[in-house]
């Protein structure tokens, strides 16, 4: 079934060109920061980070490995429950490695706070956070990303990996979902 964007998207918040340009800038910062560090492991948080991580990884000019974790803290699709559940864990040992958590969006901060603690306890040399989108108005836990693509207002956004009920991830931009779609 074809998506009629006018029926679901209130506005385009960040267009595809702006996303690609900013991700290249972030990759440049990552390249510089990790140049003389230990082995770098990018850990994408599924499923939302997949498009961001793919584009970021294409622009990282360092030896690195890609890993994924699937975690959930959303029980009803729009509100975090605060309980983080690991659905898919890492496949490799991260002891002594530099870990870069790659996230699509930070809102409450609960998920990333729990993941960062877990990865530090597993022996990672360092755990840094990069997020495509930062929604500081929604923060419940004091956590700041080390790198952030865009600060956004407290709107329900989809596209470029972000979803509503597993839909709209494939949109090449970040759009604000119309309230009538999710309320």
7, 10, 107, 117: the active-site residue = 107
Instruction: Name the token pair of 90.
Output: 């890492």
Q: How far apart are CA 12 and CA 5, in angstroms?
A: 10
With the C-alpha atoms ordered 158, 175, 154, 129, is the resulting torsion angle positive or negative?
A: positive
Whether residue 126 contacts residue 98, with contact meaning beta carbons closer than 8 Å, is answered with yes
Q: How far apart are CA 58 and CA 51, in angstroms?
A: 11
Is-catalytic flag, 107? yes
What number of other Cβ atoms are within 10 A of residue 74's Cβ? 11
Burial class of residue 169 (count of CB atoms within 10 Å of its CB; 0-12, 13-18, 19+): middle
Catalytic residues: 107
């Amino acid at each position: 079934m074809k998506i009629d964007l006018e029926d679901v998207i209130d506005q385009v918040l960040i267009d595809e060109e702006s996303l690609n340009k900013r991700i290249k800038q972030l990759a440049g910062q990552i390249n510089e920061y990790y140049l003389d560090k230990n082995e770098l492991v990018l850990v994408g948080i599924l499923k939302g980070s997949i498009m961001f991580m793919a584009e970021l990884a294409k622009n990282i000019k360092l030896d690195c490995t890609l890993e994924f974790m699937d975690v959930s803290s959303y029980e009803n699709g729009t509100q975090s429950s605060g309980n983080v559940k690991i659905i898919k864990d890492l496949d490799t040992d991260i002891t002594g490695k530099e870990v870069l958590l790659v996230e699509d969006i930070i809102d409450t901060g609960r998920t990333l706070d729990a993941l960062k603690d877990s990865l530090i306890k597993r022996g990672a040399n360092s755990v840094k956070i990069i997020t495509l989108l930062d929604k500081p108005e929604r923060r419940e836990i004091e956590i700041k990303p080390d790198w952030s693509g865009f600060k956004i207002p407290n709107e329900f956004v989809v596209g470029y990996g972000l979803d509503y009920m597993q839909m709209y991830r494939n949109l090449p931009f970040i759009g604000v979902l119309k309230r009538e779609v999710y309320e």
